Structure 1
């Protein structure tokens, strides 16, 4: 009887350890992927920041409305 109880406890402890290890691994994987995505978009973020400083781009953004095409604006 004692051996059966010990066996059940061992199974429960090992199961819990496996669940925790799996969750930790998933968390580390998702953090690694998050960093990779951030590295991927970094050059595009720089380009957008540089474009935001351009006066022509600022003018287009302030003179056009949502859904309006720039070819129908007289200035462009």
Structure 2
């Protein structure tokens, strides 16, 4: 099966710490994800970005399940 980034959809944006926690929880139930960290990229390039510029992506086919998990995790906070 071909892994195409066009099949990826953003499910959540927050800080790097929160996104990593969400990613870990999704991995526990078999949902692979991709993190796009604009903050880190901006710092490395010499210009800034918001620390909340970290996005979590999943395959479109996992969107509903991932969204449900993320909502549950946010309710626990």
Q: TM-score, normalised by structure 1?
A: 0.22
Higher relative contact order structure (alpha carbons within 8 Å, sequence separation ≥ 6): 2
Q: TM-score, normalised by structure 2?
A: 0.22
Greater share of residues in helix: 1
Q: Larger Rg: 1 or 2?
A: 1
Greater share of residues in strand: 2
